[in-house]
Amino acid sequence: MNDEQLTKELEEALAVEPTPQFLARVRREIEAEGRRPAVRLMAAGVAVAAVILGIVLFHPENPTTVESSTASQIVRPLPAAEISITFVPSTPTVTKGRSTQASGHSAQPEFLMDLRETAALQSFLQDVQERKIDPARLEGLFQSAEKVRNTTIAPMPIAAIEPIVITPLSSAEPETGGDL
Amino acid sequence: MSGDLAQEFEVRLAESSRLAFRVAYGVLRHREDAEDIAQEAVTKAYRNFARLRQRDRFRAWLVRITWRLAIDLHRSCKRRTARESFQAPGGKSDTAADVLAARERSARLWTAIDALPEKLRIVTVLAGIEEHDIREVSRLLDLPEGTVKSRLFLARQRLKELLQ
């Protein structure tokens, strides 16, 4: 095949005409495209209005604002009444050796307790419920524990030890080399 | 788009839409797909026409948009089977044997074109469309004429080898 034949074949292969409707279709599409900015603008307006409406309708009554940056001012200690620990023995959430008492979506703070402490506390409560432990006697136990805690242990007196005196070696005669 | 700009685009569209179709057809060889791609390319060009600084580069710009879109579609539809591999040359006097022979030649040619690397394929297709000369192809591809010439030479050599 020579150059001329190849050129002819290529031109024939590419001499394809679009359908008569093609240009009209393109023009229609362009006209539609020209109208689209107005539609887009309208859609954007509707979206903005919806967002504003949403904010107005679902605006929280007490918005949370952080005014201070110090930790002591940000963290507000909860009153004791608000704190409650609930144990769910059947489904504890254990993460890396720790029992997580998560309150789900509640506003309550999350408590992290050691698994062994939880087990000990559960066992204690069970014993109280089963009356293996008399609650009346616990008060006395707590008082004696308190007493022990308040006891001050006097430091042991340091025994008097005589200082060791090492006397320097002294000889009456001057040191001389010995006879070999 | 302002009225003047729209009018200018209309002029460009009239002179370039067929080129866009043929470029797409050169990749896809499927009339409907080529029309869809050409339409998409023209619409894309319309959207960005106001930002085009050199308006006389419109054809080149449109060719590149069309080529890219067509190549993307071609790659995504490589499993397509219903390709038109034949553009019937000649007139009504062709016998069935002539038509069959032309069909076979065309199929072989397209297979050979498809086997070319993309750089060589685009110069081949553009040079085959509307009798574009090297200068026109270099303008359309924004390449030096020497580059187009060497690529075209290489492409033809390969095509000839493949069609032997």
> Which domains does chain B show, CATH number per domain?
1-79 (1.10.1740), 93-164 (1.10.10.10)
**Minimal CA–CA distance to B65: which of B94, B92, B80, B45?**
B45
| Residues in chain B closer than 8 A to A22 (CB atoms) | 17, 21, 35, 38-39
**B154: pLDDT strictly greater than 90:** yes
| Residues in chain A closer than 8 A to B87 (CB atoms) | 12-16
Q: What is the pLDDT of residue A177?
A: 57
Using a 10 angstrom Cβ sphere, with 0-12 exposed, 13-18 middle and 19 or more buried, the burial of residue A79 is exposed
H or E stretch at A146: helix A135-150
The whole-angstrom distance between A47's CA and the closest CA on chain B is: 23
Instruction: Check if A24 contacts B (Cβ < 8 Å).
Output: no
For residue B110, give every residue at least 6 positions away whose Cβ sits within 8 Å of its Cβ, in sequence order, or none: A13, B29, B85
Chain segment B8-28, per-residue pLDDT in tens: 888 888 888 999 999 999 989
Whether the CB-CB separation of A29 and A35 falls below 8 Å is answered with no
Q: Do A14 and B39 touch (CB under 8 A)?
A: no
User: Which residues of chain A are under the pLDDT cut of 70?
Assistant: 36-41, 59-111, 157-159, 170-180
Q: What is the pLDDT of residue B80?
A: 53
Q: Say what the ipTM of the complex is.
A: 0.76
Q: What is the pLDDT of residue A57?
A: 76
